[in-house]
Amino acid sequence: MSTQPKQPKQPTQLMQPTPPTYSSPIILGIESATSRVGCAIGTPLGILAARESNKPRQHAESLVPQIAEILDEAALSFTDIDALAVDVGPGLYTGLRVGITTAITMAYALDKSLVALTSLELVAHAIRSPEHSYEQIDVVIDARRGEVFHAAFTSALKPISEATVAKPEDLAKKLAQEVPNTCLVGDGVEAYQAIFAQAGLSTNNATIYPSAETSVELAVAAVLANKTTEPAKVRPLYLRGPDAQPIVVPTRS
């Protein structure tokens, strides 16, 4: 009785993972205007991944690894990004430079456009549904050196003042006289809570920081409306000089 030779087993075909399909545009948001640094990636349907750390003076060391982490978590590559969003300030001088430089460099390398957003509008837009009815929203960000960055918005989040830098005492007095029923938000309110409370202003709102997640949300709308900026035109919003001043060595006459 003859036997048929056994056929060699065919190697098992490994299934290659199918890359996820996301709605467009895919936005990478970068935030570095305050002591916090972070990034987020998302689409019109929401945030896919995000990272944030609060390590003062470590923006440069933290940001790029964070970006790599969220891309990996979302199973995306750099080339999948459709546009970038970046906080252009006002904020801390060194932190701003790190975030803006990273965003511009990536935009050039990937041939993508940018959406430039201010830290003040990012804080304002992070308010979803205030508990009370306010005449306006005043965003106050700690600028260090006994000062705050400030801008006012309507309850519908439309800007009604330019970004300024002020002494908290002067701002508190002005708001108490002109708009006592205002919604004060931002880490500057927490930093100078006693001053604003003494002026009779409500300081009970939770502290809100500008975030990469909010920048993604706003940038999605901007990209869909074709309201983006070329990388070469993105500029930081500096309202004063750097916190670190050069040491002046006296010379002998």
Helix (H, G, I), strand (E, B) or coil at 134: coil
| pLDDT tens-digit map of 136-161 | 999 999 999 999 999 999 988 899 99
- Mean pLDDT value across residues 74-102: 95
Domain presence at residue 6: no
Q: Are residues 112 and 222 in the same domain?
A: yes
Rounded to 10 deg, the angle between the 59-73 and 93-110 helix axes is 40
CATH code of the domain containing 151: 3.30.420.40
Domain presence at residue 16: no
Q: Are residues 214 and 115 in the same domain?
A: yes
Place of tokens 């065919």: 10
Q: Are residues 192 and 138 in the same domain?
A: yes
**How far apart, in Å, do the first and last CA atoms of the chain sit?**
115
Q: Are residues 31 and 101 in the same domain?
A: yes
- Print burial letters for 88-100: b (CB count within 10 Å at least 16), e (below 16): bbbbbbebbbbbb
Residue 115 φ/ψ, nearest 5 degrees:
-120, 115
| pLDDT tens-digit map of 12-45 | 555 545 557 788 999 999 999 998 999 999 999 9
Domain presence at residue 46: yes
In the predicted model, is pLDDT for residue 246 greater than 50?
A: no
Domain presence at residue 215: yes
Number of domains in the chain: 2
Q: Are residues 60 and 81 in the same domain?
A: yes
The predicted structure's pLDDT at residue 248: 40
In the predicted model, is pLDDT for residue 97 greater than 80?
A: yes
| pLDDT tens-digit map of 101-138 | 999 999 999 999 999 999 999 999 998 655 557 889 99
| pLDDT tens-digit map of 198-231 | 999 988 777 899 999 999 999 999 999 999 999 9
Q: Are residues 78 and 31 in the same domain?
A: yes
| pLDDT tens-digit map of 43-57 | 999 999 999 998 777
Domain presence at residue 251: no
Domain presence at residue 9: no
- Mean pLDDT value across residues 173-188: 93
Q: Are residues 32 and 76 in the same domain?
A: yes
Helix (H, G, I), strand (E, B) or coil at 198: helix
In the predicted model, is pLDDT for residue 251 greater than 50?
A: no
Q: Are residues 58 and 113 in the same domain?
A: yes
The predicted structure's pLDDT at residue 56: 74
Q: Are residues 114 and 134 in the same domain?
A: no
The predicted structure's pLDDT at residue 76: 97
Domain presence at residue 65: yes
Domain presence at residue 113: yes
- How far apart CA 78 and CA 83 sit, in angstroms, is 10
**Both tokens assigned to 93:** 């001088």
- Residue 172: domain span: 127-198
Q: Are residues 111 and 190 in the same domain?
A: no
Q: Are residues 106 and 142 in the same domain?
A: no
- Cα–Cα nearest to 143, from 242, 37, 30: 242
Cβ contact 122:84 at 8 Å: no
Q: Are residues 115 and 219 in the same domain?
A: yes
Q: pTM for this structure?
A: 0.85
- How far apart CA 194 and CA 148 sit, in angstroms, is 14
